[in-house]
Amino acid sequence: MMSIDYNENIPNNVNLADDRRLLRALERWQPAYLKWWEDMGPVESNELSVYLRTAISVEKDGWANYGLVRMPDYRWGIFLAPPEENRQISFGIHKGEAAWQSVPGEYRSELRRLIVTQGDTEPASVEQQRRLGKTCPSLYDLRNLFQVNVEEGRHLWAMVYLLQAYFGRDGREEADMMLERHAGDIDRPRILQAFNEQTDDWLSFFMFTYFQDRDGKYQLASLAESGFDPLSRTCRFMLTEEAHHMFVGETGVMRIVQRTCEVMKKHDTDDVRKFGVIDLSTIQKWMNFHYSVCLDLFGQERSTNAANYFSMGLKGRYQESKIDDDHQLDGMVYNIPAFEDGKIVSLEVPAITASNERLRKDFTKDSQRGVDRFNKVIRDHGIDFKLTLPHEVFNRGIGAFAPVHATPDGKVIKAAEWEARKGEWLPTDADRAFVMSLMVPIVEPGKMAGWIAAPRRGIHGHPLEYEYVQFH
C-alpha cells in the first residue's frame, strides 16, 4: 500500500524528503497558497469544523479518512497513483516505448501548457464558489461544498508539484502565477472563460459540479493516458476525488427537480415560484447555460494542437485502451460538425485532428445519462415536461459555431432575433434575482431549504441530522 506520511509538513507519497531542493521550493510556495486560501477561499470559514474526508492512501479501497477538521488545518498534499510496472506509451508516434519518467525535452513546452491549463481550473472553481457558504440550503450541502473546495485545492497542489518537480524555474514561475490569476479578474482572469463565470447561487453550483466537473473528468481521463508517467499517475488519483464532485452536482440538481415536482403536484400548477421553489423552465435555462459553456472547454472541433498532443503521446482519448483502432490514427477519418453557407454540416477530417470533438461527444453522452435520470423524476410525478441538453450550435463562444446564433434545438436565427429572444433560453437578470431571493442559509442540523428535497442518506453512515459543519 502506498500510504501517505502525515507527519510531513507537506503530506506526500513521492518521497519529498529525499529531494531537499524540491521540498524547499514547495515549502516556499506553501505559505503563498495558504494566504491565497485565506483571501480567495470560502469566506468566513476558517473557524468552522467540517466533516471532511482526507486521502490517507492512493489504493482503490480504503483510501480516505473522515473526521471534523478546521478548514485551514486541512492537510493538502501530493499523491500519485501507484506506478504500473513496465508501463508503455499506448498511443501516438511513441506507442510501445517505455513511459517517460522525466520530461521529454522536445515536448517540454507542450507538456507544460497542458499542466498549466489543467492546474488553472482548480483554484478558479474555489474562487467562483467562495461566497456560497453564506447561503447554504443545509449543513449537508455546506459540507459537500467545502469538500469540493478542499479537493480542488489539493488538485492545484497536484499540478504545482509537477511544475516544480519537472520544469525548474519555468515551473516555479507558473506555480506562482496560479495564485495571481483570479476568476473574473478583469486584468488577470483565469485561462478558460468558463472559470471566470459567476457562481453565486446553489442552482449554479450544482450545475457547475454536474457539467464543469464532468468536463474535468474527461480532461483528466485523457491526461491519465499520457506517456509522461508522473502526469498519468497524478490524474488517475485526481479522478478518484473528482467522482464525488459530480455526485454532488447530479444529486443536487435531482433534489431541486424533486422538490419542484412535489410542489407542482401539490398545487396543480406550473407557476411555482410563488411557493418558493425553482420552476422547471428556470432549471432548463441554467442547464442551457452551463452545458453550452462547457462545450467550449473542449476547444476547436478541428485542432492542430490536439493532433500534436496525441501524436506526441502527451494526451490521449477517453479510455484509449478500449478504442478499437491502431492508436496512431494513420489515415483514419472522423466526422466533425461545421457551419457552411448558413447550414450546419458534417465534415470528414483526419481523425488525429478531431480528438477534441471526440472527447466532447463522450462528455455529451455522459451528461445525457444524468439528464435522463432527472426526467425520470419528472415522469414519476406525472408531469409533462422534459429537460434537454441544448444543441451543440447553441450559445457557443469557441469553434465553428462561435459566430452563429441559434435556438436550443439548433435552428439558426438572425442576430436580431437572438437578442430579442435569448431571455427565453438563458438566465435573465430577473431570473437570477429570483433564484438569489431563495438563497437563505439553513444551518440547523437536519433541516433543508424549501426549494430543495432532502438527500436519501447522510455522509459516511451518519444521519442527515448529524452536525456536518460545527460553528462553535
DSSP 233-258: HHHHHHHHHHHHHHHHHHHHHHHHHH
Q: Is residue 254 part of a domain?
A: yes
Quick one: the chain helix, strand, coil %, rounded to 5? 50, 10, 40
Instruction: Classify residue 1: in a domain, yes or no.
Output: no
d(CA 166, CA 114): 14
For 417, the grid coordinates are 432575433
Cα distance from N-terminal residue to C-terminal residue, the chain = 37
Looking at the domain assignment, is residue 20 inside a domain? yes
Considering the domain boundaries, does residue 54 fall inside one?
A: yes
Number of domains in the chain: 1
Q: What's the CA gap between 185 and 196, in Å, rounded?
A: 8
Type of residue found at 42: P
Cell of 146: 467545502
Q: Is residue 451 a part of any domain in this protein?
A: yes
Measured CA to CA, the distance from residue 84 to residue 233 in angstroms comes to 9
Let me know if residue 6 belongs to a domain.
no
pLDDT at 46: 92
Beta bridge partners of 412: 406
- DSSP-assigned states of every residue in 167-214: SHHHHHHHHHHHTT--TT-SSS--SSGGGGS---SHHHHHHHHHHHHH
Does a structural domain hold residue 52? yes
**Helix (H, G, I), strand (E, B), or coil: what is residue 100?**
strand
Ranges in the chain, pLDDT < 50: 1
Q: Is there a domain that residue 8 lies in?
A: no
Specify the pLDDT at position 233: 97
Tell me the Ramachandran region of residue 400: left when phi exceeds 0, alpha when psi lies from -120 to 50, beta otherwise: alpha
Q: What is the pLDDT of residue 59?
A: 78
For residue 111, how many C-alpha atoms fall within 13 Å in the half-sphere facing its CB? Answer: 25
pLDDT for residue 2: 57
CATH code where residue 168 lies: 1.10.620.20
**CA within 13 Å, CB half, 44:** 8
Identify the H or E element spanning 92.
none
Q: What's the pTM?
A: 0.96
Owning domain of residue 439: 16-470
In angstroms, the CA 176 to CA 169 distance is 11
> Rounded to an integer, what distance in angstroms lies between the CA atom of residue 155 and that of residue 153?
5
Calpha distance 223→217 (Å, rounded): 10
